[in-house]
Amino acid sequence: MSKQLADSRQSYSMRSGALGTMGWNAPEVLDDSRKVNPTSAVDIFSAGCVFYYVLTGGKHPFGEPYRQTANIMDGKYNLNGLQKDKHEDIVATDLIEQMLNMEPQRRPSAESVLKHPFFWSLEKQLMFFQDVSDRIVNETLDGPIIQQLESGGQEVVRNNWMEHITAVLRKDLELRKGAYEEGSVKSLLRAIRNKKHHYHDSPKEVQETLGSIPDDFVSYFTSRFPHLLLHTFLAVRSFAEELTLQHYYLKSNTKLRRQKRTHPEPDVTTTKPTTKKM
């Protein structure tokens, strides 16, 4: 499904015929009206199809074989196969949507794909939550990083995150009166950081409800707040050059784009995506 691109070249020649396997190749390869040679972005598109195929056990984002080519040309995909127990895999959906963008220049680079939180281990996710919480602990509510973090935060915390954790953990957190704001993303991150730092000092029943660190511990929170990881990643990426955060992001952060959710940035990434769902 791919073709070798020499280091000195920026695009592929079409003289040797169409690139890739029908049903898996990018729209610019199929569209004879486009007068430019396709770039390595065609492989990102194909990889996005493959990612979805693997994650769903054999489904194709553009439907059945007899409809795939037409749907690719129309930009009509369906990622419903990423629904798990009635919950969407938010992180995987975000990555694949970027990779399937109709406009090749808006697809992420291979380096950006590999930096996406989809590929983070649970240990790295926990480190990220901790580092962000440490970074914002003394920030004021009107500061830019807090404003970005809390923008759209009600969906992340599900209006009141205290209502969605187990009673034993809620009781433990409530021992510190006024320490946590129930509708705040910053406060939720603080709770995650504090319980990680004081895990071994916590009562046995709290340790049991949270499970082992890092896997059970992280899954406890991300299963209850599925938007938390991606939301936080996108909210603080404007500060990606800072020492404590830079290893979570691609150095040239411009290629990692979000297509449909919150936190638009003042550049071309704010334009409405052209890809459509089936």
End-to-end CA distance of the chain: 24
Q: Are 116 and 256 in contact (CB under 8 A)?
A: yes
Residue ranges of domains in the chain: 1-116+256-278, 122-251
| The pLDDT of residue 253 | 46
Confidence class for position 277, pLDDT limits 50, 70, 90: low
Can you tell me which residue has the tokens 């691109």? 5
Write the class of the CATH domain 1-116+256-278: mainly alpha
Angstrom distance (rounded) from CA 130 to CA 127: 5
* CA separation for the pair 67, 18 (Å, rounded): 19
Task: Kindly tell me if the per-residue pLDDT of 13 is higher than 60.
Answer: no
Q: What is the pLDDT of residue 32?
A: 74
Average pLDDT over residues 11-37: 71
Any idea what DSSP says for residue 31?
A: -
State the pLDDT confidence band at 180, using cuts at 50, 70 and 90.
very high
Mean pLDDT of 240-260: 72
pLDDT more than 70, % of the chain: 81
CATH code reported for the domain at 122-251: 1.20.1440.180
Per DSSP, 260 falls in state S
Nearest to 88 by CA among 77, 98, 79: 79
Share of the chain above pLDDT 90, in %: 70
Q: pTM for this one?
A: 0.82
Residues 6+ apart with CB under 8 A from 102: 27, 75, 273, 274, 275
Q: 31 versus 256: which is more confidently predicted?
A: 31
**Secondary structure class of 89 (helix, strand, coil):** coil
pLDDT: is 13 or 209 the higher one? 209
Measure the CA–CA gap between 180 and 173, rounded to whole angstroms: 8
Q: How far is CA 48 from CA 38, 51, 148, in A?
A: 17, 5, 28
**pLDDT tens digits, residue range 27-38?**
988 887 766 677
> Tens digit of pLDDT for each residue in 60-102?
999 999 999 999 999 999 999 998 766 679 999 999 999 999 9
